[in-house]
C-alpha cells in the first residue's frame, strides 16, 4: 500500500491532497452522504471536546478548524483572482452545489471590509431544536478563512442569528482585524 500522505505528514496533520480521491475510493457509494452523518460526527466531537476542555475552548477549536477548512477550500476550490462580485457569485455556487448552504450577501463595505451575510439551509444547524444560542462556530471560522484567503486580511466573523436561536437563516457579521 502506497503512502498517500504528503511527504513527512501524519494523518492528523491537514493537507488538501490528503483528502484523497473520493470518486475512486467511493465508486459505489459516491461523494455525498446524509447531513445526519455529518452532524453526528460534528456534535459528538463537540461534546467530547467540551467535556475535555470546556465549552468555550471547544468552540474555539471548532472555529479554528473551520478557519483552516475555509482557507484551504478557498485556495483549492475557488478562483481567488476574481473581482469581488464574481468571487461571491462563485462562492454562492460552490456552497450550494456542495450542499453546505445558500449564501446571500447582505452588505459589504469595500473600504472597511465589513461584511454581513446569511447562510440559509445551513449544513450545521438548519432544523436543530431552538436552544436560544448560536451554534455555528465552525461556520464562523470557515467564512473567516475564505475571506482571509481572498483578501489577504485577517477577519473576525461571528454568528449573530442562528436557526438554534430561533431564526430561519444564519447571519454572520465579519470585520477586518487590525
Q: What is the pLDDT of residue 50?
A: 97
Q: Please tell me the total number of residues recorded for the chain in this structure.
A: 178
Residue 47 grid coordinates: 461534546
User: Per CATH, the architecture of 16-176 is what?
Assistant: 2-Layer Sandwich (3.30)
Q: What is the pLDDT of residue 10?
A: 80
SS3 164: helix
Q: What is the pLDDT of residue 6?
A: 61
Q: What is the pLDDT of residue 11?
A: 77
The parts of the chain modelled with pLDDT lower than 70 are 1-7
Closest CA to 148 of 123, 121, 177: 177
Q: What is the pLDDT of residue 9?
A: 74
**Separation of alpha carbons 148 and 38, rounded Å:** 25
Helix (H) or strand (E) holding 2: none
Model pTM score: 0.93
Residue 10 grid coordinates: 501524519
Closest CA to 131 of 165, 159, 169: 165
Domain boundaries, the chain: 16-176
Amino acid at each position: 500500500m502506497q503512502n498517500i500522505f504528503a511527504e513527512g505528514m501524519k494523518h492528523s496533520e491537514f493537507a488538501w491532497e490528503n483528502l484523497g480521491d473520493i470518486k475512486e475510493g467511493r465508486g459505489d457509494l459516491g461523494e455525498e452522504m446524509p447531513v445526519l452523518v455529518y452532524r453526528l460526527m460534528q456534535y459528538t466531537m463537540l461534546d467530547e471536546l467540551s467535556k475535555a476542555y470546556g465549552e468555550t475552548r471547544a468552540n474555539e477549536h471548532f472555529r479554528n478548524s473551520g478557519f483552516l477548512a475555509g482557507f484551504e477550500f478557498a485556495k483549492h476550490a475557488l478562483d481567488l483572482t476574481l473581482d469581488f462580485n464574481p468571487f461571491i457569485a462563485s462562492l454562492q455556487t460552490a456552497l450550494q452545489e456542495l450542499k453546505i448552504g445558500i449564501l446571500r450577501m447582505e452588505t459589504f463595505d469595500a473600504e472597511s471590509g465589513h461584511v454581513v451575510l446569511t447562510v440559509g439551509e445551513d449544513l450545521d444547524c438548519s432544523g436543530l431544536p431552538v436552544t436560544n444560542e448560536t451554534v455555528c462556530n465552525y461556520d464562523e471560522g470557515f467564512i473567516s478563512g475564505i475571506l482571509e484567503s481572498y483578501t489577504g486580511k485577517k477577519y473576525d466573523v461571528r454568528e449573530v442569528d442562528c436557526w438554534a436561536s430561533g431564526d430561519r437563516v444564519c447571519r454572520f457579521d465579519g470585520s477586518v482585524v487590525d
